[in-house]
Structure 1
């Protein structure tokens, strides 16, 4: 197998390693420039730190950058108190862990914020650097646990919805060539793919019937000459390619670079060791699929059963 080709276990490990290399995000909010710079310098080695000097600016940063793991906010700021700012972040970013810095005894505000789940912990000014680092380390661990729980719940719901969709399509369509397009669309949308192809296979080779889904002008790429597709059909196992300087597309797959492809998964739909179709999922952006790989693999197994049922009932 080419070094560019990855089996199921290998791509899972690679996605884990990529995710570990990314620093978690942190937002620090304080109207005092010296405190803001100190917080930035304290955590920049372990986090991607974003700064804001007011609650309003902090909301703008979150709107642009998306979810962060930890927010550290001063309590006493002009126009908007820290607890007021943090309360506005809860609906959109429920897993973010929030820490308040306070030099005042705003007991009522802090108790209400902590009891309502808006604030994880408060630190009094002037803070002890070691204490603050320890609190932030625990906050980051808490965030990781919350994200894992949320992802597991979302994945379970995603699995139920996709399985129901595959069953519904199986019941509605009497011919395989008619079912391929709605199946490709359902799967492409489920996994936020930029392109998706589901193409029928007969006697170990691609045949003309296929379904396409695309949210991109340059995807999906065709599968006929793709060496990854040929290998997936021959082996009956998932194959993947991730774009990197050390992993250029192999000969025959030059369209990967011209289309801006970053990640390509090829999953055979198998029924009783017979490959009935091949599913190609394509992304133009870096995507963490560590949690979803098993669901993608399971969906391909469901596809194999669904396509066999359609063929049998035709």
Structure 2
């Protein structure tokens, strides 16, 4: 298991950004090899010698930052292939290589937003690399904005739920399941356990969302979170016997007292970013205030 981390800076240093994935498509093997050699150092490069094979690669490997496709291929034109990728991968940057003098298809594809740029053959490797670098930077910006918007929407929805639960709950035992369910649904975790803490020890009050259960009393991330009052993150579990690859233990604290733990897990490694962790922690801080209010009013 990788070392638990919390701060955004540590998360970023421990998990450097992976190389962007690109797909190159050309029916001529020499061109395909040249494209691979041009990009293999800066990118993870997938190769296909036809549009149909390229679609198979996309179905298996998922979204690419950029696709570079020859226009003139026997089974399927490059613009036709790229058009078929738009619905599944709208953010991918698409570049066409063409030697055609008739560029009607390209004009239509560019005007409809299906193609980012076109490069005429024979291309200069440095020029093409510059275009692809720019395209992948645009892709990263699009993904970042999309993720920020999605995260903000989830956070706002969750805060509304927290307020509603706080106003309607009169006992701590009645609020743990709604809180756990709200975090589970809004942050896309595969499983969530919320368990309350008193005097630095877990108590029996807990709620489980998802198809799995694990004992928080024996979870090292949870125990460290309780002992330090700091949330703990494990983004890539190395143990092949462990079902979940991303595990976090979010400390719910108020005035340096740990009131509970959100133990959240995802099946895939590196399932969350530092921005996600920050949003989850901010919502957990609101839950801490809510738990304090509910506990206070329950005494009267």
Would the TM-score normalized by the shorter structure come out above 0.5? yes
Question: What is the 5 A alignment of 1:24-63?
Answer: 24-63=20-59
1:21 offset after TM fit, Å? 5.2
Residues 307, 285 of structure 1: CA spacing in aligned structure 2 closer, same or farther, 3 A cutoff? same
Residues 72, 5 of structure 1: CA spacing in aligned structure 2 closer, same or farther, 3 A cutoff? closer
SS of the residue corresponding to residue 174 of structure 1 reads coil
1:93 aligns with 2:89: yes
Distance in 2 separating the partners of 1:19 and 1:81: 39
Residues 191, 35 of structure 1: CA spacing in aligned structure 2 closer, same or farther, 3 A cutoff? same
Kept in 2: contact 1:72–1:98 (CA 8 A): yes
1:171 offset after TM fit, Å? 4.0
Kept in 1: contact 2:237–2:269 (CA 8 A): no
Give the corresponding residue for 1:8.
6
Residues 71, 243 of structure 1: CA spacing in aligned structure 2 closer, same or farther, 3 A cutoff? closer
1:6 offset after TM fit, Å? 4.0
- Name which of structure 1's ranges 138-147 and 160-169 shifts more when overlaid on structure 2: 160-169
Please, which of 114, 131, 134 is the counterpart of residue 127 of structure 2? 131
SS of the residue corresponding to residue 224 of structure 1 reads helix
Kept in 2: contact 1:151–1:291 (CA 8 A): no
Give the corresponding residue for 2:280.
296
Kept in 1: contact 2:95–2:116 (CA 8 A): yes
Distance in 2 separating the partners of 1:276 and 1:229: 13
SS of the residue corresponding to residue 274 of structure 2 reads coil
Distance in 1 separating the partners of 2:297 and 2:13: 45
TM, length-normalised to structure 1: 0.84
Give the corresponding residue for 2:219.
226
SS of the residue corresponding to residue 16 of structure 2 reads helix
Q: Deviations over 1:61-96 (max 9, x none)?
A: 212211101100111223432222222222322221
Distance in 1 separating the partners of 2:256 and 2:57: 51
Residues 8, 138 of structure 1: CA spacing in aligned structure 2 closer, same or farther, 3 A cutoff? same
Distance in 1 separating the partners of 2:257 and 2:42: 49
Give the corresponding residue for 1:248.
none
Kept in 2: contact 1:27–1:72 (CA 8 A): yes
Structure 1: any 5+ residue segments left out of the alignment? Answer: 246-255
Give the corresponding residue for 1:112.
108
Kept in 2: contact 1:29–1:73 (CA 8 A): yes
Kept in 2: contact 1:198–1:210 (CA 8 A): yes
Distance in 1 separating the partners of 2:16 and 2:48: 26
1:266 aligns with 2:266: no
SS of the residue corresponding to residue 101 of structure 2 reads coil
Q: CA RMSD in A?
A: 2.5
1:244 offset after TM fit, Å? 6.2
1:298 offset after TM fit, Å? 0.5
Q: Deviations over 1:242-299 (max 9, x none)?
A: 5567xxxxxxxxxx87534433221121234332211111234212422201101101
Distance in 2 separating the partners of 1:124 and 1:139: 17
Kept in 2: contact 1:194–1:220 (CA 8 A): no
Please, which of 171, 176, 180 is the counterpart of residue 176 of structure 2? 180
TM, length-normalised to structure 2: 0.88
